[in-house]
Structure formats: C-alpha cells, structure tokens
Amino acid sequence: MTIISQLAFVVILGFFGFLLYKRITRIKKNIQLGRDQQIDDRKGDRLRQMLLVAFGQQKMFKKPLPAFLHLLIYVGFILINIEVLEIILDGLLGTHRVFAPFLGGFYTFLISFFEVLALLVIFSCVVFLIRRNVTKIPRFHKIEMKGWPTLDANLILIIEIVLMKAILTMNATDLVLQDLGNANYAQTGTFLISGMFVDFFDGFSESTLVIMERAAWWFHIVGIFAFAVYVTYSKHLHIFLAFPNTYYSRLEPKGKMNNMQEITNEVKIMLGMNTGEEASPPPEGMKFGAKDVNDLSWKNLMDAYACTECGRCTAECPANITGKKLSPRKIMMDTRDRMEDVGLSLQKGGKGLEDGKSLLGDYISKEELNACTSCNACVEACPVTINPLDIILQMRRYVAMEESAAPQSWNMMFQNVETNFAPWKFAPTDRFNWAQEINEK
C-alpha cells in the first residue's frame, strides 16, 4: 500500500470511529434518562446467565432450526472479525496479509476456515430472507413491523451477504495474483472456498485483478466500519447489548412481582407494624408508577435497546393471540422510540421530556396495557431475557394510582379486596362456604 492509501485508511478509520463514539455516547445518555436501580448482587449467577443466554444462546434453541442458523451467523460474525483485525493492521502498516509470514501453513487453514464460515453465513442469511419474505412467518408481519423494522431486518441480512461475498472475491483474486507471481502478493497456499472460484478470474489482466482485489478489500473493510455504525441505529444493536442486558436481568422467579416499597411502608405505618426508618412515608410529590421513560429504570431502557424484534414475545402473548391490541414487542419498540425522540430533542437543544408528549398515551395506549394478563409468557419467550411486563406493570400503576383511571371492573375488584379481603363481593366469613357441600358428601 502507498502512503496515500495508508493516510486514506487512517482518515476513514477515524471518521467511522468518531461516528461510533458519538452514537454510543448518545445511547448511554438515553439509557441514563431512566431512574437509578441497584443491581450488584449474585455476580456469579449473573455471569453464568450471561454466558449461557447471551454467548451460548441457550433460549434460542427452543426452536432448533432458526437457532442453528442464527448460531452460524453469530459464530461467523465473531470469528471472521479476526480477519478484519488483520485487514485493519494492513491498512495502518501498509502491509498485505501481515499474519501470513508468521503463521505459515496454519494461516492457510485459518483463512479457509473463515471462508467456510462466510459461506455458511451467506446460506443462513438467504434462508432467513426466505423465511421473512417468502414463507412469511406470522410474527414478522405484525402491525408494528410495517415499514422501517421490516426493511431494517432485510437490509442487515443483505449487507451480511454482500460483505461475505467481498471476502471471497478478495481472496480469490489474491490467489490468482499469487499464481501470476505479483511481488505484492506473497504465497499463502490455496484457500478452501475461494480457491474454487479462481477460474472465474483467469481471463483478466494482472492490472485489472489488482484493481478488483483492492476494490474488494476496500469495500469489505469500509463496509464493516459502516456496518458497525449502522448497527447502533438498528435492532441489531442486540449483538452487543445482549451481554450486559442478560448480566443485569432479574434472577428472581418470573412470577414474582416487585411491590412498590413506598406503598408497602405506608401500609405498615397504618397497621402499626414497623415504625423504623424503612417504614417512613413516601416523600411529598412522589410519582407512583411510570408515565414516561424517565420514570422507568435504566434497566428497562436497556431492555428496549437490547430488543431483537424477533417477535417471540408477541407470538406467545395470549392477549395478542386472541386479537387484543397488546404486543409486548411493540411495548419495547415504543419505549426505544420515545428514548430516541427525547435524546434527539436534547441533542438539538430542544425540550426533551418537556415536549408535551409522554410514553403513556402518545406511544403506548391504555388499551394495550389493560389487555396484559401478567402471565409472563413474553418474559419466558425472550431470547435475551427482556422484561416487557415490568414496564407494563409500572405504567398500569401510574394509571391506577396517579390518574385514578383504572377500568371500573378493576376498581370494583380493588374495593372488594380492601373491604372483603378477596376479589369477590361477599363477607370474609362466607369465604369457605363452598366447601360445606364437599364436607357433607
């Protein structure tokens, strides 16, 4: 590579690095819009969960075929980036295949292995494109997936195919140039997959092959840089956030609901049970539940960014299955959209959270919230342990406690629980009357 090429590479690397830094900073600030939540317990269990769920993709294998194809793409993405490291070093140092002289025959094996992975990635992406656009799996075609979400999913798959083809083209033309004895292309031995395609390039002149090889090299590395930036705007951000998200996800049984400590303390005071500091009344002006993203915790907001938009949660949701408006996937997508809107407004010096909108009402309707049965099917189905139910419960609490706008049937139940200690309107002394007939028999 010439000095000009090295300088161009440094400029391109710096440019995309700057864009990536800005985007990561914005995502971090958006997540920090949420209230603080201390999660620092059971570090060993959390690490184990991260390794099994995020790295090992444990929950994906409930559906073996898509899980296996996803694993091929995932492993290919990680391991092929080792070759990207070599390309970056070549760009900075002005070398060509800098690792080849040090690794010898193992280098040929390594690149061949990467090429096999590249071919499997192409195969998997083609299958996923067919599943999305030809067989049309129902969960990929819900109302919230119209427009950009569907285009985004297809774009990612197409980009991955093109990038993998660029690797194979680069290697195949490289092999032809080696055979021609070009001094800039040291002998590496024949690569397993690209070696099958060298015949396609036999009729080209040496200068044309150099242009083709360099074009594929530049296209691949610039494509990788652009892809890294694009991912931060895409649902494929889960590639990175799945790891911290699974680490910080809750370890308690899924059916356990977290009480509002302030309400628990107030009840204790009323009952004269606990007069210590922990039973102090809630502070003046405190908000119960969540109306906007700043009322949710930072973990809820990280969940929204980590959402894969796979739709497994919605496919398992009994409310959605029976035609209700609720879609747990949409809850996460709406939360992320609200964060993005607020973050963009703050970035431009706008009103941010004071823009006259809120997550409740403008993004998520009460009809959606009220349709939830709190069954936790969505939480169980999520491959990266996202918890849409936690957001739903916090927003329903706001509706019930701040707006006093719970459905009338719910208010009757609440009243019965308060006066009769049961959801039904009969005296506590009559609670076990139903068992009398059984005893008589």
pLDDT at 182 (0 to 100): 87
Residues 301 and 324 in one domain: yes
Q: Report how far apart, in Å, the C-alpha atoms of 155 and of each of 128, 149, 340, 347, 367 are.
A: 12, 10, 21, 27, 33
Q: Is residue 266 part of a domain?
A: no
Residues 145 and 87 in one domain: yes
pLDDT at 279 (0 to 100): 52
Q: Is residue 264 part of a domain?
A: no
pLDDT at 21 (0 to 100): 97
- Residue 274 has phi, psi (to 5 degrees) of -150, 110
Whole-angstrom distance, CA of residue 378 vs CA of residue 58: 16
Q: Is residue 432 part of a domain?
A: yes
Rounded to the nearest 10 degrees, the angle between the axes of helix 148-179 and helix 105-133 is 150
* Cβ pair 87, 221 in contact under 8 A: yes
Q: Is residue 255 part of a domain?
A: no
Domain final residue, candidates 223, 247, 271: 247
Residues 91 and 113 in one domain: yes
Q: Residue 325: CB partners within 8 Å, gap ≥ 6?
A: 365, 367, 368, 371
Residues 145 and 181 in one domain: yes
Place of tokens 């109302």: 143
Q: Is residue 222 part of a domain?
A: yes
* Cβ pair 397, 414 in contact under 8 A: no
pLDDT at 281 (0 to 100): 56
Residues 78 and 171 in one domain: yes
Residues 241 and 136 in one domain: yes
Q: Residue 261: CB partners within 8 Å, gap ≥ 6?
A: none
The count of domains in the chain is 3
Q: Report how far apart, in Å, the C-alpha atoms of 240 and of each of 74, 77, 236, 334 are.
A: 11, 12, 8, 20
* Cβ pair 171, 135 in contact under 8 A: no
Q: Is residue 263 part of a domain?
A: no
Residues 190 and 125 in one domain: yes
Q: Is residue 307 part of a domain?
A: yes
Residues 215 and 108 in one domain: yes
pLDDT at 86 (0 to 100): 92
pLDDT at 308 (0 to 100): 93
Residues 349 and 422 in one domain: no
Q: Is residue 40 part of a domain?
A: no
* Cβ pair 71, 57 in contact under 8 A: yes
pLDDT at 298 (0 to 100): 96
Residues 393 and 428 in one domain: no
Q: Is the dihedral of CA 70, 97, 107, 193 positive or negative?
A: positive
Whole-angstrom distance, CA of residue 172 vs CA of residue 201: 8
pLDDT at 365 (0 to 100): 95
pLDDT at 162 (0 to 100): 94
Q: Is the dihedral of CA 342, 343, 347, 353 positive or negative?
A: positive
DSSP labels for 36-68? P----S-HHHHHHHIIIIIIS-GGGGGSHHHHH
What's 307's domain CATH number?
1.10.1060.10
Whole-angstrom distance, CA of residue 344 vs CA of residue 305: 15
Residues 17 and 92 in one domain: yes
Domain final residue, candidates 247, 275, 302: 247
Residues 222 and 298 in one domain: no
* Cβ pair 349, 343 in contact under 8 A: no
Angle formed at CA 399 by CA 397 and CA 405, multiple of 5 degrees:
130
Q: Along the 441 residues of the chain, how does pLDDT read in single tens digits?
A: 578 899 999 999 999 999 999 999 999 999 999 999 999 899 999 999 999 998 888 888 888 888 898 888 888 877 887 888 999 999 999 999 999 998 889 999 999 999 999 999 999 999 999 999 999 899 999 999 999 999 999 999 999 999 999 999 999 999 999 998 888 898 898 999 999 999 999 889 999 999 999 999 999 999 999 999 999 999 999 989 999 999 999 998 888 888 887 777 777 777 777 655 555 555 665 678 999 999 999 999 999 999 999 999 999 999 999 999 999 999 999 999 999 999 999 999 999 999 999 999 999 999 999 999 999 999 999 999 999 999 999 999 999 888 888 888 888 888 888 888 788 888 878 877 877 777 766
* Cβ pair 119, 193 in contact under 8 A: yes
Full residue range of the structural domain in which residue 309 is found: 285-405
